[in-house]
Amino acid sequence: QKEVEQNSGPLSVPEGAIASLNCTYSDRVSQSFFWYRQYSGKSPELIMSIYSNGDKEDGRFTAQLNKASQYVSLLIRDSQPSDSATYLCAVRPFKAAGNKLTFGGGTRVLVKP
Amino acid sequence: DTGVSQNPRHKITKRGQNVTFRCDPISEHNRLYWYRQTLGQGPEFLTYFQNEAQLEKSRLLSDRFSAERPKGSFSTLEIQRTEQGDSAMYLCASSRNGLGDGELFFGEGSRLTVL
């Protein structure tokens, strides 16, 4: 079992719709969770972090965390073509050195005009 | 804040040659990380420095790989006797000291192609 798992996609959504991305993790005691966006040929950039159960909203993005189910999700509302990218779920393991993160394989999102 | 800088951005080499990548982190960041990313995969952790000390190395980092951060500022990643399987994007990231929010700031990466 991979430490962090994501559906590779592509997830195709029409412009203006909600994109829903899911991520599961294996380390039950992980405390910190992140979503990074990576455009093709570019480096990952942080878009959301979440540390406690529930929802966290930032603009059009909402992260959801359920530690009991070891599940993190990202919702993108009013999806735009510029949201087309790969979204990486990252987890900081409990005994991580520094701020070391473990990444999932990413979900590719395609927003169609 | 000029961000994390990596060079060269692209490197094409023949199998068996040695290559070296350089990373200049954000100036006030004590922590520096190297990751490797292949097409369609997420970044895989290679190694981590706190100042000049290399505190963790992944088992992915074979004996052909060595990383240094001699003065706690820039870092180098050297791959000796390159193999075709080493072809990947090598990403450097840095972060602040302390627990913080865990944000890693990534450089644009160094893409290695081994022929």
Asked if residues A106 and B41 have their Cβ atoms less than 8 Å apart, the reply is yes
B78 CB neighbour count, 10 Å cutoff: 13
Token pair of A73, please?
């999700």
Which residues 6+ apart lie within 8 Å of A57 measured at CB? none
Q: Which among B88, B71, B84 is positioned nearest to B34, based on CA atoms?
A: B88
pLDDT at B99 over 80: no
Asked if residues B32 and B21 have their Cβ atoms less than 8 Å apart, the reply is no
- Sheet containing A19-25: which strands, arranged edge to edge? A4-6, A19-25, A71-76, A61-66, A54-58
User: How high is the pLDDT of residue B60?
Assistant: 78
Angle at A103 between CA B7 and CA A52, to 5 degrees: 125
pLDDT range class, residue B2, cuts 50, 70, 90: confident
| Mean pLDDT value of segment A83-92 | 96
Higher pLDDT, A97 or B105: B105
Asked if residues A102 and A50 have their Cβ atoms less than 8 Å apart, the reply is no
**Pick among A100, A107, A108 to test the B interface (most B CBs inside 10 A):** A100
B104 CB neighbour count, 10 Å cutoff: 28
CA distance B82 to B20: 11
- Smallest Cβ–Cβ distance between A99 and the set B41, B42, B95 belongs to B95
Asked if residues B70 and B94 have their Cβ atoms less than 8 Å apart, the reply is no
User: How high is the pLDDT of residue B38?
Assistant: 95
The C-alpha of A43 sits at a distance from chain B's nearest C-alpha, in angstroms, of 5
Render pLDDT for A4-30 as a digit per residue (tens, 0 to 9).
999 998 999 999 999 999 999 998 888
Round the average pLDDT of chain B to a whole number and report it: 92
Q: What are phi and psi of B85, to 5 degrees?
A: -70, -10
pLDDT range class, residue B101, cuts 50, 70, 90: low
Render pLDDT for B51-67 as a digit per residue (tens, 0 to 9).
999 999 998 788 999 99
Round the average pLDDT of chain A to a whole number and report it: 93
Which residues 6+ apart lie within 8 Å of A20 measured at CB? A11, A73, A74, A75
User: How high is the pLDDT of residue B77?
Assistant: 97
Residues of A with Cβ-Cβ distance to B44 under 8 angstroms: 103
Asked if residues B13 and B19 have their Cβ atoms less than 8 Å apart, the reply is yes
Residues of A with Cβ-Cβ distance to B104 under 8 angstroms: 44, 46, 99, 101
| Mean pLDDT value of segment B20-28 | 94
Residues of B with Cβ-Cβ distance to A98 under 8 angstroms: 31, 33, 48, 50, 55-56, 95
The DSSP element (H or E) to which A61 belongs, if any, is strand A61-66
The percent of residues above 90 in pLDDT, for chain A, comes to: 80
Could you tell me which residues of chain A have a Cβ less than 8 Å from any Cβ in chain B?
Answer: 4, 6, 8, 32, 34, 42-46, 49, 88, 90, 92, 97-106
